Amino acid sequence: MVEQSNDLSVPETPTLVLAPWSGTWDTDDPDANFKEEVVAYGLLDPLETLDGLSKRLGIPVGGLARYVLAKWATGGSEGMLHVGGTTVQRMHTTCQTAEKSDTVEARLAAYDELRQIVDWLRVPIEDPKTYNN
């Protein structure tokens, strides 16, 4: 639940209630793994970590919480920007083709192709001088 703050010094600063969730879902729910993690991480108190980090760095807890949420929530978009739409589409097509074939051989071939793409993406990590002139 997000509520608007009554603090007029910062216009429309949202207030977020960090309530744990313990919902239920069907066994065939495609998002079951994510929901299980939401329940598991809901047992932790993120403010303990944020309080310690706030004291150490001199950054208000609210600023840190906003950073963590924004960074996590945009992680997929950021990853897409880093990898590029063409590569993401190629990876997706590889998986779709293998699933459509529905054979072990097709899935192994897809795995090999994805492994090669990941190896290619790791080149600058493995050898940072690769793209330096």
pTM for this entry: 0.57
Write the CB contacts of 67 (distance below 8 Å, at least 6 apart in sequence).
none
Cα→Cα distances 91→34, 87, 98, 103, Å? 22, 6, 11, 18
pLDDT in tens, 76-112: 777 788 888 899 999 999 999 999 999 999 999 999 9
Q: Which residue has the tokens 């097709």?
A: 106
Kind of pairing between the strands at 2-4 and 14-16? antiparallel
User: pLDDT at residue 2 above 80?
Assistant: no
Span 57-64, mean pLDDT?
A: 95
Beta bridge partners of 14: 4
Q: What are the boundaries of each domain within the chain?
A: 2-75, 79-131
* Residue 103 pLDDT: 97
Span 37-59, mean pLDDT?
A: 94
